[in-house]
């Protein structure tokens, strides 16, 4: 059985101490040589000299023990006045109100629950989703297709001061009224519409009393 360093079986205790403490900060070989040298000098000196050398070495190495010893923890500083005051107020509140306080719960009177309407911010897109705005396909040129020149239409012009047009199926009365005003610069009193059996929409446009349907028809080119 081999022994680790000079501290083998039958080795004196102070030789182990020399080897362990005397070589702190040195390599393994230097520690062994230093321990052997100290041990030899102690053994040759014998008696009081040997003991004296051991005492000197232990005295020098006591500083190492002190350095290696763990530092004592500093005591926590006393709490400042503000913390002490807050603690006292908390204790006072606990004494007055009691520790086990009960919060008042809301009484629900309905079985349904609605989610609250929280803040919803407007969208701030980084780029436009449409490169150009859509063109209005149902403009006044698309609404009024053409005027009717049948015998019944002529009778309406003469008797009822009313013009008859074929218009877009999707156009409503307000759109027809605005389109006639914009195209022919006339005021409209009333608009009646119907869908013919062939699927076209017919509009009876009654003019205001200030305008004569016959003059407007001549201007348009119906007659």
Q: What are phi and psi of 174, to 5 degrees?
A: -65, -45
Rounded distance between C-alpha atoms, residue 33 and residue 23, angstroms: 9
Q: In sequence order, what are the residues at sequence separation of 6 or more whose Cβ sits closer than 8 angstroms to the Cβ of residue 58?
A: 17
Query: Strand 162-167 vs strand 144-147: parallel, antiparallel, or unpaired?
Result: antiparallel
- Measured CA to CA, the distance from residue 151 to residue 159 in angstroms comes to 12
195 pLDDT higher than 80: yes
What is the rounded average pLDDT of the residues 64-90?
Answer: 69
Confidence of residue 9 (pLDDT cuts 50, 70, 90): very low
Of 53-62, 71-80, 149-158, 188-197, where does mean pLDDT reach its minimum?
A: 53-62
β-bridge partners, 163: 205
- φ and ψ at residue 205, rounded to 5 degrees: -105, 110
In 3D, which of 157, 150, 164, 154 has the Cα closest to residue 194? 164
Q: What does DSSP say about strands 201-207 and 144-147: parallel, antiparallel, or unpaired?
A: unpaired
Sign of CA dihedral 55, 57, 58, 62: positive
Higher local confidence (pLDDT), 68 or 130: 130
Q: Helical H runs in 109-150? A: 140-143
State the pLDDT at residue 176.
97
What tens digit of pLDDT does each residue of 10-30 get?
455 555 555 555 555 566 667
DSSP 8-state assignment for residue 198: T
Q: With b meaning 16 or more CB within 10 Å and e meaning fewer, what string describes 97-113?
A: eeeeeeeeeeeeeeeee
pLDDT of residue 152: 96
Residue 3 confidence (pLDDT) above 50: no
Q: Which residues are within 8 A (CB) of 115 and not within 5 positions of it... i.e. 6 or more apart? A: none
CA nearest neighbour of 182 among 136, 141, 217, 223: 141
DSSP for residue 145? E
User: Who's near 148: CB < 8 A, 6+ residues apart?
Assistant: 164, 165, 166, 202
With cut-offs at 50, 70 and 90, classify the pLDDT of residue 8.
very low
Which tokens go with 20?
Answer: 């362990």
């Amino acid at each position: 059985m081999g022994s680790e360093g000079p501290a083998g079986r039958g080795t004196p205790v102070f030789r182990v101490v020399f080897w362990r403490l005397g070589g702190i900060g040195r390599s393994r070989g230097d520690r062994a040589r230093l321990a052997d040298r100290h041990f030899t000098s102690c053994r040759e000196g014998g008696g009081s000299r040997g003991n004296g050398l051991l005492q000197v070495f232990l005295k020098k190495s006591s500083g190492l023990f002190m350095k290696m010893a763990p530092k004592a923890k500093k005591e926590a500083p006393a709490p400042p006045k503000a913390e002490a005051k807050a603690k006292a107020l908390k204790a006072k509140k606990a004494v007055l109100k009691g520790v086990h306080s009960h919060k008042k719960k809301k009484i629900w009177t309905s079985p349904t629950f609605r989610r609250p309407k929280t803040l919803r911010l407007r969208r701030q897109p980084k780029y436009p989703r449409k490169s150009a705005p859509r063109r209005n396909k149902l403009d006044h040129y698309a609404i009024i297709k053409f005027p009717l020149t049948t015998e019944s239409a002529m009778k309406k012009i003469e008797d009822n001061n009313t013009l008859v047009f074929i218009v877009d199926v999707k156009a409503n009365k307000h759109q027809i009224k605005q389109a006639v005003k914009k195209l022919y610069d006339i005021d409209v009193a009333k608009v009646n519409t119907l869908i013919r059996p062939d699927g076209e929409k017919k509009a009876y446009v009654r003019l205001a009393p200030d305008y004569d349907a016959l003059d407007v028809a001549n201007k348009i080119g119906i007659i």
